[in-house]
């Protein structure tokens, strides 16, 4: 596709567009999907055996991935499961930064949790993760239905959907990922506390965790490319913020006494893309590791 074609039909918003953000012209193929590219090594940590060491402050390096990852504390220890609950954010059009106010634009964001899914530290970049993608497309009325998925690399080059499961923005969902299964539960809208509640929907998918290192557990926000347009991340939607709560991680082997069982001490990273305005998330671990919070920002 010629790059000029990427801008076709965008005359309305053309003045607001950065030259650096090509926007897709999509056919009538529905639904919209993201391309769940594998995590990449990042300069802010070193991989030492099964241990990833955060090196103080976050770097300014470009990253399509933000959030938090907790590492095993000794090389004999393995992450066996990770879970968290969060309200699926609404996708909107950003109103600041180079991608702002493109009323004919396409925006998306992805929220996922997983094992070995943050630092590309496992042999063969093996990882297992599951999450939700949200979309906003100005050409078809704005906010679209979220898509709930899981992905076991390298078997699944892209995410796979769960059959018989649906969720909407505003629903509280809980993901649990272990080496043998991925479970997702939907508690519905306007729910703030899960305790004692039965999910409205629940689905469990058996997965093959062979070859996972169990070196880290992660709670992440990511700006993936659109399926069919692999060369650049889609403009990140305005999602307000996401809070991963009831954050839990289990370990086996090693000195398990050292592990907190949540995101305490995690390495924190932000989505940072110069073409979209710089730092696009403000992520932090809060409440002693019980929550991982990422706000959508646009900061130089
Ligand atoms: C986008 O539109 C909003 C609402 O009209 C406005 O407040 C904001 O300044 C605009 N942003 C840019 C970058 O033009
Ligand atoms: C959630 O709360 C909002 C605001 O009170 C209300 O409009 C909406 O109908 C509620 N949704 C459900 C599914 O109860």
Q: How far apart are CA 173 and CA 97, in angstroms?
A: 30
Q: How far apart are CA 129 and CA 153, in angstroms?
A: 9
Q: Is residue 108 part of a domain?
A: yes
Indicate which ligand has the atom closest to the C-alpha of 15: 1
Which atom of ligand 1 lies nearest, measured to the CA of 96?
Answer: 13
24 pLDDT band (50/70/90 cuts)?
A: low
Q: Measuring from atom 1 of ligand 2, which residue has the nearest CA?
A: 190
Q: Does residue 11 surpass a pLDDT of 50?
A: no
C-alpha 127 – ligand 2 centre gap (Å): 37
User: Is 16's C-beta closer than 6 angstroms to any atom of ligand 1?
Assistant: yes
Which of 166, 186, 188, 189 is the pocket-test mutation for ligand 2 (most atoms within 8 Å of CB)? Answer: 189
Q: Is residue 32 part of a domain?
A: no
Domain that holds residue 187: 4-20+44-54+62-296
Q: Is residue 37 part of a domain?
A: no
Q: Which residues of 109-124 are buried (b: 16+ CB within 10 A; e: fewer)?
A: bbbbbbbbbbbbbbee
**Domain containing 85 — which CATH number?**
2.60.120.700
Which of 87, 190, 197, 200 is the pocket-test mutation for ligand 2 (most atoms within 8 Å of CB)? Answer: 190
User: What are the tens digits of pLDDT across the range 126-160?
Assistant: 999 999 999 999 999 999 999 999 999 988 888 99
Q: Is residue 112 part of a domain?
A: yes
Among 66, 40, 37, which residue's Cα sits nearest to residue 218? 66
Indicate which ligand has the atom closest to the C-alpha of 94: 1
Compute the C-alpha angle 217/223/226, nearest 5°: 120
C-alpha 20 – ligand 1 centre gap (Å): 19
Q: Is residue 35 part of a domain?
A: no
Please count the structural domains in the chain. Answer: 1
Q: CB–CB of 229/68 below 8 Å?
A: no
Which atom of ligand 1 lies nearest, measured to the CA of 100?
Answer: 13
Residues 6+ apart with CB under 8 A from 169: 88, 89, 90, 91, 134, 143, 146
Q: Is residue 8 part of a domain?
A: yes
User: Is 166's C-beta closer than 6 angstroms to any atom of ligand 1?
Assistant: no
Compute the C-alpha angle 226/241/13, nearest 5°: 50
Q: Is residue 28 part of a domain?
A: no
Q: Which residue has the higher pLDDT, 289 or 1?
A: 289
Q: CB–CB of 234/34 below 8 Å?
A: yes
Q: How far apart are CA 101 and CA 110, in angstroms?
A: 20
Q: How far apart are CA 162 and CA 183, in angstroms?
A: 10
User: What are the tens digits of pLDDT across the range 228-242?
Assistant: 899 999 999 999 999
Q: Is residue 109 part of a domain?
A: yes
């Amino acid at each position: 596709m010629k790059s000029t074609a990427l801008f076709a039909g965008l005359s309305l918003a053309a003045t607001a567009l950065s030259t650096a953000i090509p926007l897709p012209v999509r056919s009538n193929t529905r639904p919209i999907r993201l391309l769940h590219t594998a995590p990449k090594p990042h300069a802010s940590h070193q991989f030492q055996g099964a241990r990833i060491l955060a090196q103080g402050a976050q770097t300014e390096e470009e990253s399509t991935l933000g959030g938090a990852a907790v590492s095993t504390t000794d090389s004999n220890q393995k992450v066996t499961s990770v879970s968290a609950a969060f309200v699926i954010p609404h996708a909107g059009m950003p109103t600041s930064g180079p991608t702002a106010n493109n009323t004919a634009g396409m925006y998306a964001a992805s929220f996922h949790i997983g094992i070995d899914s943050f630092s590309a530290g496992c042999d063969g970049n093996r990882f297992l993760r599951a999450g939700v993608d949200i979309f906003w497309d100005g050409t078809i009325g704005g906010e679209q239905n979220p898509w709930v998925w899981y992905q076991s690399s390298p078997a699944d080059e892209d995410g796979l959907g769960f059959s018989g499961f649906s969720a909407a923005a505003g629903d509280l969902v809980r993901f649990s990922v272990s080496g043998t299964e991925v479970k997702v539960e939907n508690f519905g809208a306007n729910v703030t506390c899960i305790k004692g509640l039965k999910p409205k929907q629940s689905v469990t998918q058996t997965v093959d965790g062979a070859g996972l290192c169990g070196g880290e557990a992660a709670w992440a926000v990511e700006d993936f490319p659109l399926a069919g347009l692999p060369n650049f991340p889609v403009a990140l939607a305005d999602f307000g913020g996401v809070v991963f709560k009831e954050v839990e991680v289990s370990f086996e082997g090693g000195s398990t006494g050292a592990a907190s069982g949540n995101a305490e001490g995690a390495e924190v990273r932000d989505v940072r893309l110069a073409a979209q305005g710089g730092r696009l998330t403000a992520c932090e671990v809060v409440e002693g590791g019980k929550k991982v919070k990422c706000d959508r920002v646009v900061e130089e």
